[in-house]
């Protein structure tokens, strides 16, 4: 699967401190925007019903108010300056501001109103520029740098805050600082345009019913048709793409889809990406680093430099190489059963051959399996499982207003004392202009406000197959897995107890942030969990047949050599781009690595990186984190396996030591506390069926 979680950043520049828009004010403005952790009289937690220009005005007012507050901090006389009125006031200023602007920029990703969508995008760009400039203020940096605190939490905040300033060039001379700030503003704008292009992409292909032979009636029934009613219009959204690539018998149809998919925004976004890579190189050089990757990895990462990451990735490449070759050979052998002259597997064959072979060898049919996973049931059963693990319950907020009619709002209640903890929205049905994958967005951050804790608000945004042909939204097992993963991010964001917004929720080291969610994917491979989740859409009492369930679990390892090699290829693509110097030919590098790592020719003339959102959404020189953090995910899961996967005591310890802590301690220290020992890679390599692994410490290279 291409993307499990898409962590977006309002700006990649200072996400280390405050701008994590992960999956990402004046008090008076907060009330106007419908924020603050309690629904308004109209049922809103965040607003979405803006008049033309209103969102823009709210955004500008909030940023202007924040600017005034920052200037007031700078003007405090030295004799009157304290930790409270300097460090804590700056943190509070930013947190107040984000509680207003995060819901506003969120409209870029979800609003069905094109004008509001555009205003959200403009606001996001303005917020990025504001952030760069806020962390580029010399006088403010000097005032904060001189503060001291003996309180552990305050010291942690100060250290991380200074890291944010210094990552923006505050250790440089003024002339270089001005250059870095200007480059960061330029980078922010390039990233936002890239993201908006992807969100608004409407690439399609047209095909006759004959050319779509092999796909089912449910798929065909949800497609629009050309004006002459002779051809179907198939989008390149992930739901349509997956259905076609797994089921269409015509190799030419699959090739046309693969070419279209690999060229979404190919011309425009390739230019933006390659320009961004040059800007990043300039910033890294001014900051005293050889490459952008080394600059990024020097802060808020468990890995500290590009060599450590490259050693990890190439170490995995060597270990995975034979498994991947065996997987591709298996696909070619199957292809020859219907095409005896076949000599190679093409890129557009892989999903089709894998799915058809899986159906043959394991008698697993995704379309039949989907019937046992109606989305409403899966979501409710998932809530019960998470409730057991973490001691909370979820209640839908009746009458809540939102940006679309199928969006729901839930509150989270602590079962020990019936205390309201936070809220989250669910937005699962695809529509034009909506974010095209899955992500968890922080809308209002958890933090202490006086003696009360500000209740966090998040949103899980995704694209399930929509209801069609008289059937409700039905989920593949892959989609169930993704749901468990993304809801893990929601729990990380909303069960937090971090006292400061910049260190609460999922604002952790970026190469650890996926670990809590990756760990929770394991639950959907457990027999008793799958049995609980399943229930036929026509009769919920009819469970997924035992024989099918058993075969699903047996098939878990099927083609995993290819799956992990593809993740490895994407990570190497990202790292190669960001360890390069001089002009970067993104298509040539991607194609070369695809051939080298996967062993299959890439799509001819493709520009996959143009729609690889991670590269311009805060995961630049960070995609390796998916593989890196899975080492920790599997290690943590081994603790649950030993105690029982629904053991509430282990779940509670996990909640207290990992989810609630945010970034109040280094990730490696939190891992050691939860595990009762330093982390190692044994469980990860066991999952990959790779032996003779060397144990490593949690804070070192996990490969």
Instruction: Report whether 620 contacts 614 (CB < 8 A).
Output: yes
Segments of the chain assigned to CATH 3.40.390.10: 375-522
**C-alpha closest to that of 443 among 5, 70, 105, 190:** 105
| Whole-angstrom distance, CA of residue 512 vs CA of residue 493 | 14
- Cβ burial of 451 (10 Å; 0-12, 13-18, 19+) is exposed
Which residue ranges of the chain lie beneath pLDDT 50? 1-36, 41-42, 693-701, 703
CATH number, domain 8-198, options 3.30.750.24, 3.40.50.11740, 3.50.50.60, 1.20.1050.40: 1.20.1050.40
| Whole-angstrom distance, CA of residue 417 vs CA of residue 460 | 26
251 is known as an active-site residue: no
Cα→Cα distances 672→174, 203, 677, 702, Å: 42, 47, 5, 14
Query: Percentage of the chain with pLDDT > 70?
Result: 92
- For the chain, give percent helix, strand, coil, nearest 5: 55, 10, 35
| Whole-angstrom distance, CA of residue 188 vs CA of residue 182 | 10
| Whole-angstrom distance, CA of residue 639 vs CA of residue 64 | 49
Catalytic residue among 91, 211, 486, 630: 486
pLDDT tens digit string along 609-667?
A: 999 999 998 899 999 999 999 999 999 999 999 999 999 999 999 999 999 999 999 99
| CA 437-438-440 angle, 5° bins | 140
Cα→Cα distances 347→265, 535, 601, Å: 20, 35, 6
**C-alpha closest to that of 477 among 211, 263, 266, 242:** 242
Question: b/e map of 107-136 (b: 16 or more CB within 10 Å)?
Answer: bbbbbebeebbbbbbbbbbbbbbbbbebbb
Cα→Cα distances 336→29, 281, 353, 599, 600, Å: 65, 47, 11, 18, 16
| Whole-angstrom distance, CA of residue 403 vs CA of residue 48 | 5
In the beta sheet, which residues pair with residue 232?
207, 225
- Cβ burial of 694 (10 Å; 0-12, 13-18, 19+) is exposed
Q: Report the pLDDT value the prediction gives residue 299, as an integer from 0 to 100.
A: 87
Instruction: Report whether 45 contacts 108 (CB < 8 A).
Output: no
CB atoms inside a 10 Å sphere around CB 340: 7
Q: Report the pLDDT value the prediction gives residue 39, as an integer from 0 to 100.
A: 58
- The contacts of residue 380 (CB under 8 Å, 6+ apart) are none
Cα→Cα distances 694→106, 626, 642, 672, 703, Å: 43, 20, 22, 18, 8
Q: Report the pLDDT value the prediction gives residue 689, as an integer from 0 to 100.
A: 84
The torsion defined by the Cα of 477, 674, 12 and 191, in degrees rounded to 10, comes to 0
Segments of the chain assigned to CATH 1.20.1050.40: 8-198
Q: Report the pLDDT value the prediction gives residue 465, as an integer from 0 to 100.
A: 87
Q: Determine the 3-state secondary structure of 286 from DSSP.
A: helix
Cα→Cα distances 676→148, 259, 274, Å: 32, 49, 45
Q: Report the pLDDT value the prediction gives residue 690, as an integer from 0 to 100.
A: 82
Q: Report the pLDDT value the prediction gives residue 432, as an integer from 0 to 100.
A: 84
The secondary structure of residue 657, as a DSSP letter, is: I
CATH superfamily label, 375-522? Collagenase (Catalytic Domain) (3.40.390.10)
Q: Determine the 3-state secondary structure of 585 from DSSP.
A: coil
Q: Report the pLDDT value the prediction gives residue 36, as an integer from 0 to 100.
A: 46
Task: Provide the angle, in degrees to the nearest 10, between the axes of the packed helices 174-199 and 89-110.
Answer: 30
In the beta sheet, which residues pair with residue 8?
21
**C-alpha closest to that of 112 among 579, 430, 433, 384:** 433
């Amino acid at each position: 699967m291409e993307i499990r979680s898409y962590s977006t950043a309002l700006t990649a520049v200072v996400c280390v401190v405050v701008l994590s828009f992960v999956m990402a004010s004046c008090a008076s403005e907060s009330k106007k925007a419908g924020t603050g952790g309690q629904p308004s009289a109209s049922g809103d937690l965040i607003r979405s019903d803006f008049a033309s220009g209103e969102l823009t005005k709210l955004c500008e007012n909030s940023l202007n108010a924040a600017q005034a507050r920052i200037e007031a901090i700078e003007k405090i006389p030295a004799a009157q300056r304290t930790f409270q009125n300097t460090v804590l006031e700056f943190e509070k200023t930013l947190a107040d501001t984000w509680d207003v602007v995060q819901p506003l920029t969120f409209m870029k990703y979800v609003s069905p109103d094109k004008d509001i969508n555009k205003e959200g995008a403009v606001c996001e760009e303005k917020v990025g520029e504001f952030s760069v400039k806020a962390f580029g203020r010399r006088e403010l940096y000097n005032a904060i740098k001189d503060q001291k605190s003996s309180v552990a939490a305050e010291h942690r905040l100060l250290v991380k805050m200074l890291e944010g300033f210094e990552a923006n060039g505050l250790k440089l001379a003024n002339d270089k600082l001005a250059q870095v700030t200007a480059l960061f503003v330029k980078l922010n704008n390039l990233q936002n345009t890239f993201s908006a292009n992807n969100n608004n992409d409407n690439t399609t292909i047209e095909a006759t019913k004959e050319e779509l032979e092999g796909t089912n009636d449910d798929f065909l029934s949800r497609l629009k048709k050309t004006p002459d009613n002779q051809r179907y219009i198939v989008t390149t959204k992930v739901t349509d793409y997956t259905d076609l690539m797994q089921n269409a018998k015509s190799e030419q149809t699959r090739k046309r889809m693969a070419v279209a998919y690999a060229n979404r925004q190919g011309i425009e976004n390739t230019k933006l990406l390659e320009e961004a890579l040059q800007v990043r190189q300039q910033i890294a050089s001014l900051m005293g680093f050889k490459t952008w990757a080394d600059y990024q990895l020097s802060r808020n990462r468990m890995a500290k430099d590009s060599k450590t990451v490259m050693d990890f990735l190439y170490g995995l490449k060597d270990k995975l190489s034979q498994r991947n070759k065996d997987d591709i050979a298996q696909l070619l052998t199957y292809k020859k059963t219907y095409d005896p002259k076949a000599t190679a597997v093409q890129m557009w064959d892989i999903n089709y051959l894998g799915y058809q072979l899986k159906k043959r060898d394991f008698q697993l049919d995704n379309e039949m399996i989907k019937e046992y996973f109606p989305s409403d049931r899966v979501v409710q059963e998932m809530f019960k499982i998470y409730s057991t693990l973490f001691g909370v319950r979820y209640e839908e907020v009746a009458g809540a207003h939102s940006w679309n009619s199928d969006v729901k709002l839930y509150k989270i209640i602590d079962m020990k004392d019936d205390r309201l903890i936070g809220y989250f929205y669910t937005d699962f049905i695809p529509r034009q202009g909506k974010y095209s994958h899955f992500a968890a967005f922080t809308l209002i951050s958890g933090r202490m406000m006086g003696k009360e804790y500000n209740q966090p608000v998040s949103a899980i945004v995704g694209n399930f197959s929509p209801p069609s042909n008289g059937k409700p939204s039905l989920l593949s097992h892959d989609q169930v897995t993704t749901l468990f993963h993304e809801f893990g991010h929601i729990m990380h964001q909303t069960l937090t107890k971090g006292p400061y917004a910049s260190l609460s929720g999922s604002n952790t080291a970026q190469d650890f942030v996926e670990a809590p969610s990756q760990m929770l994917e394991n639950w959907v491979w457990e027999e008793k969990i799958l049995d609980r989740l399943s229930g036929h859409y026509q009769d919920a009492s009819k469970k997924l047949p035992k024989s099918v369930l058993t075969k699903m679990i047996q098939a878990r390892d099927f083609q995993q050599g290819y799956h992990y090699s593809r993740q490895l290829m994407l990570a190497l693509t990202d790292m190669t781009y960001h360890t390069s110097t001089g002009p970067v030919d993104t298509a040539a590098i991607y194609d070369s690595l695809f051939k080298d790592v996967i062993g299959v020719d890439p799509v001819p003339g493709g520009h996959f990186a143009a729609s690889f959102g991670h590269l311009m959404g805060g995961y630049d020189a960070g995609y390796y984190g998916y593989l890196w953090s899975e080492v920790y995910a599997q290690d943590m899961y081994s603790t649950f396996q030993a105690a029982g996967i629904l053991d509430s005591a282990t779940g509670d310890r996990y909640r207290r030591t990992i989810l609630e802590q945010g970034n109040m301690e280094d990730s490696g220290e939190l891992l050691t506390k939860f595990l009762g020992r330093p982390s190692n890679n044994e469980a990860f390599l066991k999952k990959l069926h790779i032996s003779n692994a060397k144990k490593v410490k949690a804070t070192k290279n996990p490969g």
